[in-house]
Each structure stands twice: as structure tokens, then as C-alpha cells.
Copies of this chain bind each other. A is one copy, B any other.
Amino acid sequence: MVKMNHMKSGIFKIGSLLAAFLFVSFFGFAQDFAPWPVPDEASVVKNPVEANKTSLEAGKSLYTLQCKACHGETGRGDGLIKAASLVSENFQSQTDGAILWKLHQGRGQMPSFKALPDDQLWNVINYVRSLSKKPEDIIMKNAVVSLFFNEKAEQKELTAKVEQVNDNGEKLPAQGIKVNVGVQKYFGILPISSTSNYTSENGEINIVFPNNIIGDENGELTIIASVDDMEFNPARVSENISWGQINPKDYWSERRALWKNNDYIPLWLLISFTVGAISVWLVIMYVALLVRKIKIEGDKSGLSD
């Protein structure tokens, strides 16, 4: 019985180990949303950076790089993994200092950002604060963006012009506005403007268009320009132009039927698969029939015994 008791305790050990594994696993998950107390001395730290446009823009770009993936574009915690909402009452009620402390610490899936200079983190905090402001709190200006194409002998140039629209419908060139220009590709927009493209005093940015972008079979491309400025409502324009390299319509890649839906299924494949599948199952059924015969034979023989 000693042996048995020993054994039983062994089982219980393994069992409880497994249970502990699972518990830790679940708890480890739940933990992310457990309270996260901040020391008082950290909470009282004041944010030295003014939430001006520069700070907000810098904060936004850092947020996009480091935070967006988990916390989501609008900070609602709806990124790739489940993360805390940054627009919740709960979050926004903290002091800036408390947020900075958390950024320094990190916890669970949230990494520590101690390596980044504090002023950059303050920018992010300013930006995160701005996320919770309701849209109606801010008066957004309106703008229109337009595209001009200019083809010289050896070089293609593209001009994007941003004009601010006044309340009375007047258009005036808007200076210092960031404009993103890109080419529509299969999986998104390929940027062709640099990240620091701000409009000049006449509201324009000029971009030398690269020669190596592949278009459709006519070399046609869709160019998209959009205003990326916190004080303006989103504005965007898209134009088509044949500035791309010609992508010859390739019969075989068009017909790469194996990658397409069932309407394009190659006959040889349909036949091989169907014939193969049916014959295997016909043989199985034939064997089932043989087994049935064995049973019938047994019943007969059993009777005659």
C-alpha cells in the first residue's frame, strides 16, 4: 500500500502540475487587465512638453510605430492583440506622470519604453490625450488637394497642391501641410513622398516620380495624395496616369488556374482528383460488401451447425 500511496501522490503531482500550468496560462492572460498601481512619486511628475502641433505630430508618428499595433489606430485597444483602451475613462483619469511611469515599466505583453528619451514619450502622452477628445471638441479646417503631372524629356515630376477652403468657399494655398503621396498597389499604397514633405508657401510639394514603378498592362498607375494634418479634415485625391512600367499581360500568369477559384479548375486536376477519390471509395465499399458476405456466410453456417 505504500507503493500505491506513493503512486497516487505521483499522479496528483503531475495532475496538479498540469492544473498549475493551465491556471498560470489563464491567469497570465487575465493579468494584463488587472489593476496596475503607480507609486505616488511617479504620479505627481508634471508633463513639461506643451501639447502643440509639433508635439502632437511627433507623438502621432511614434505612436504609429510603437503603440498602434496593439492599442489600435484610435487607441481603443483594438489592435492585433487585445490591449488596454487608451480612450477609456479609467485610463484618461491618470496623470501624465503615471502614464510615463507605466511606459517606463512595461508589464506582460506591454514592453518597457525606457530606452526612448522622455521628451518623445511626453509627445506620445500628449497625442494619447488628444485621442480621447471628442471630434466636436476640435474645429477642423477644410482643405482640398489636387495633383499636377509634368513630364520633361528624361524626368517625370508630380506636384501636389493643398488649398485651404474658407467658410465662404475661397481657396487659398496652405503652407506647411504634410501631404502623403503614393501609388495604389495590390496590397496598399506605396509611398513615393518622403515622410517630411510639407507644402511650400504656394501650397505645393514637388516630387520626382521614380521610373521603376510597375503599372498595369498599359503602364497606368493610380496616384493618391492625401492631407495628413491634425488641423484639417481628411482630404484626398486620386488620379490615373501612365507613368508606370508596362506589365505585359502574361497569359500563363493570368491563367494560373491552380491559384484561382473552382470556376478555373483545370480539367486534368478535376478528373484526377475525382476519379482517384471515387475509385478509392468504390474499393472500400467493395470490401465492405465482402465483409457483409462474410457475415451472411457466417449466419448460414451458424444455422447449419
- The complex places the Cα of A208 from the Cα of B212 at a distance, in Å, of 14
Contact with B along A242-264 (1 / 0, CB 8 A): 00000000000000000000000
Residues of B within 8 A of A210 (CB): 211
A155 in complex: contacting residue of B208, B211, B212, CB < 8 Å:
B208
Does A154 sit at the interface, judged by CB under 8 A? yes
**In the bound complex, do residue A154 and residue B212 qualify as a contact, i.e. CB atoms below 8 Å apart?**
no
Closest to A210 in B: B211
Contact-size category for A = under 10
- For window 141-192 of A, CB contacts with B under 8 Å fall at 154-155
Residues of B within 8 A of A208 (CB): 154-155
- Closest Cβ–Cβ distance, residue A210 to chain B (whole Å): 8
- The complex places the Cα of A42 from the Cα of B75 at a distance, in Å, of 86
- For window 209-236 of A, CB contacts with B under 8 Å fall at 210-212
Closest to A206 in B: B154
Copies in the complex: 2
Closest to A194 in B: B154
- The complex places the Cα of A208 from the Cα of B155 at a distance, in Å, of 8
- Closest Cβ–Cβ distance, residue A101 to chain B (whole Å): 39
- The complex places the Cα of A99 from the Cα of B283 at a distance, in Å, of 76
- Closest Cβ–Cβ distance, residue A107 to chain B (whole Å): 36
Residues of B within 8 A of A211 (CB): 210
Closest 4 CB pairs of A and B: A154-B208, A155-B208, A212-B212, A210-B211
- Closest Cβ–Cβ distance, residue A158 to chain B (whole Å): 12
- The complex places the Cα of A141 from the Cα of B243 at a distance, in Å, of 42
Residues of B within 8 A of A154 (CB): 208
- The complex places the Cα of A155 from the Cα of B211 at a distance, in Å, of 13
- The complex places the Cα of A155 from the Cα of B209 at a distance, in Å, of 11
- Closest Cβ–Cβ distance, residue A208 to chain B (whole Å): 6
- The complex places the Cα of A208 from the Cα of B154 at a distance, in Å, of 8
- The complex places the Cα of A61 from the Cα of B208 at a distance, in Å, of 33
- The complex places the Cα of A15 from the Cα of B169 at a distance, in Å, of 98
Residues of B within 8 A of A212 (CB): 212
- The complex places the Cα of A95 from the Cα of B199 at a distance, in Å, of 69
- The complex places the Cα of A297 from the Cα of B212 at a distance, in Å, of 81
Closest to A152 in B: B208
- The complex places the Cα of A51 from the Cα of B269 at a distance, in Å, of 64
